[in-house]
Amino acid sequence: MTYPNPLGETDPKRWRLRSEHGRQTWHYLKSVEESEKWPQTKAGMYWLGMEVPSETFPPAKTALDAARNGFEFYKQLQTEDGHWAGEYGGPMFLLPGLVISMYVTKLPVPEEWKIEIVKYLFNRAHPEDGGWGLHIEGHSTVFGTALNYVVLRLLGVDADHPVLIKARATLHKLGGATGIPSWGKFWLAVLNCYDWDGLNPIPPELWLLPYWFPFHPGRFWVHTRNVYLPMGYMYGRRLSADVNPLIKSLRQELYTQPYESIHWSGQRGNVAQADMYVSHTKILKALNFVLGVYEKLPDLIGLRDMAIKESYKLIELEDKNTFYLDLGPVNKAINLLCAYFEEGPESPAFQESKERLIDFMWLSKEGMMMNGTNGSQLWDTAFIVQAMVESGLAKEPQNHESMIRALEFIDDCQIRCNASEMERSYRHCSKGAWPFSTRHQGYTVSDCTAEGLKSVIYLQTELSYTKELVSKDRLYDAVDVLLTMQNADGGFASYELVRAPKILEWINPAEVFGKIMVEYSYPECTTSVLTALCIFRKHHPDYRAHEIISVCEKAANFIKESQGEDGDWYGSWAICYTYAGMFALESLANIGEFYDNSEASKKGCDFLVSKQKSDGGWGESYKSCESNKYVEHPESQVVNTAMALLALMSARYPHEEPIRRGIKLIMSRQQANGEWLQEAIEGVFNKNCMISYPNYKFAFTIWALGRYAKIYNNPQLL
């Protein structure tokens, strides 16, 4: 049963999506009359779930027709600044950080946000038990349920509202909020609904260690260190909201026993069964014990103050280097708190930080969520561009303008300089790199740099009608960055080199995520880089040629070594074996290894073919990511199907039949206006949390259809 929104409704016709240099923001017009001045874009309509007025096509007879129709629809969603925008939700632990931070810093949540956030959480409550999970498709957990319950209360929903009565019952059934995982303990402590004593220590002093120390936090995976940095600041100063009647009430609602009777230090290791993904190791428990003792010792030399000072200096650098966007949504919300407590509500730092909250807010027909980053602008644009060039559709006149605008966007998005005080702030170089989202966010990502580089080369060299916007020197800069990123095992990680040994995972304190402490080499990232370097070398054979050849050889070796016994590759950033298979088989193809001449390629193909469903499609469940083995989704998914097909076609799989059946499945799912509808969630991070990539259903389908048409001479399929 769905309940009416107790806060009311907004008028979908008054919402506008603005897009400037990739910056996506949603605005609510004061009245419908203003619409004339600022008409609704088709991208805005689509993402709001309105029908986009479009042409309709008779059922496509060939794969190329289907790809063309697909892009006819998708082209309309390109934003005014040339990129493809989109929802980037999925995780259910992001909004609470934002809303709690705004509450504690006394920033008013705009009325229209309140309404839409409440709507989103109502829509996303688990249909059976009314709780919330770690992500939108997950089972209810204490983390998801307690924090989103708090959000609804802070936004003004009454504790007696049926949605909250049901959620509270589920929370209590799961044991109440005492057993919330450590990141939840942190947020509740900030809100003064959990005692800081109930948290394992987050000592900011770690930042004072010399860098050669193997577990200096500067060596942690970039997301982990950027989350624990401001957490340490808040913990070190034990900063919390002032108690008020609402907080007093929440203290009673969240627990199964009176708040005053909770034995806080006994809760440090208490994590609900439903939430636990990675348990605390003995080493971590011992470390927590020692740190607990340390917390009680008198600080004779003012170490804490020094650590707080150092932490804030690093927070400040992070804020300034990213134009206050910060690396991601979690440190964005905590850094806002730190600026408030350190510099005050009137300070420029706090004011600037506040201005960039809107960058993370995304509106859908289900309501308003917080995106997993400030968007996936570069990433999504790079894929559709490559699909269009490879299929030949980019050459068709009706698509010229769109491709030119995409090139303008990618040109604009390249990062032009390194972060200031780069080494001091533990940053990898970024001059010449491409980020995942926008230039302002500014973090190098290996595969985003590679996909950006490939797209530019494709657009500037394969199409006669484009201008050279990105100069040769800037392409060299991108290559220079990539060449700094190869790990000793030959692979490429996400943002940086591996900086610390894997055993650091033994002290992973975040019970809900796996593989978060350090960087790892990933087949996906490695393939993007390998392919980009191969393509670059064809066009610029003299630039750092020897290095490129040797880097590519080592990268290809990594791909082979990371193959599983069954011929599979585990994917870390989307679901899962089909995703990684698509990349890994492309890597092998790049070094001339195909089904017919390579055991690795053959095994990879056979593995994928063995997973084809009877309807011709592939469907993989997110459970693959959690469990490290291929788990079927009950239904075929167009995205998995497209990925498996791209993999097989890269590997020159010799039998057309399975490929044709997959292509037909994709075509059968296409709507009359050319679009594909949203199916299951596509992406993942840290093994356990899923994240949406709604643009994949366009980019990879069009790409697979286009490649098929090219390889098989575009036969009639109907």
Catalytic residue IDs = 447
Q: How far apart are CA 716 and CA 64, in angstroms?
A: 10
List the beta bridge partners of residue 17.
Answer: 26
Q: Which residues bind ligand LAN (CB under 6 A)?
A: 223, 227, 328-330, 372-373, 379, 436, 445, 447-448, 494, 513, 524-525, 573, 685-686, 691
User: 122 near 163, Cβ under 8 Å?
Assistant: yes
User: 146 near 170, Cβ under 8 Å?
Assistant: no
Which is closer to ligand LAN, CB of 311 or CB of 686?
686
Least distance from C-beta 231 to ligand LAN, angstroms? Answer: 11
State how far the alpha carbon of 254 is from the alpha carbons of 64, 104, 136, 148, in Å: 56, 18, 22, 11
User: 133 near 183, Cβ under 8 Å?
Assistant: no
* 3-state SS, residue 610: coil
Q: Which residue is nearest to ligand LAN (CB)?
A: 685
Least distance from C-beta 113 to ligand LAN, angstroms? Answer: 20
Eight-class DSSP state of 689: E
Which is closer to ligand LAN, CB of 69 or CB of 224?
224
User: 604 near 594, Cβ under 8 Å?
Assistant: no
Which is closer to ligand LAN, CB of 86 or CB of 372?
372
User: 435 near 227, Cβ under 8 Å?
Assistant: no
Place of tokens 């707080």: 308
Tell me the one-letter amino acid at 341: F
Which is closer to ligand LAN, CB of 67 or CB of 525?
525
Least distance from C-beta 686 to ligand LAN, angstroms? Answer: 6
Least distance from C-beta 431 to ligand LAN, angstroms? Answer: 19
Q: How far apart are CA 690 and CA 90, in angstroms?
A: 6
Which is closer to ligand LAN, CB of 15 or CB of 685?
685
Q: How far apart are the first and last CA of the chain?
A: 42
State how far the alpha carbon of 93 is from the alpha carbons of 405, 415, 482, in Å: 35, 29, 32
Least distance from C-beta 534 to ligand LAN, angstroms? Answer: 18
Q: How far apart are CA 651 and CA 569, in angstroms?
A: 14
Token output for 243? 């108690």
Which is closer to ligand LAN, CB of 485 or CB of 548?
485
Least distance from C-beta 515 to ligand LAN, angstroms? Answer: 11
Q: What is the dihedral of CA 215, 219, 221, 225, to 10 degrees?
A: 80
Least distance from C-beta 240 to ligand LAN, angstroms? Answer: 22
Which is closer to ligand LAN, CB of 223 or CB of 405?
223
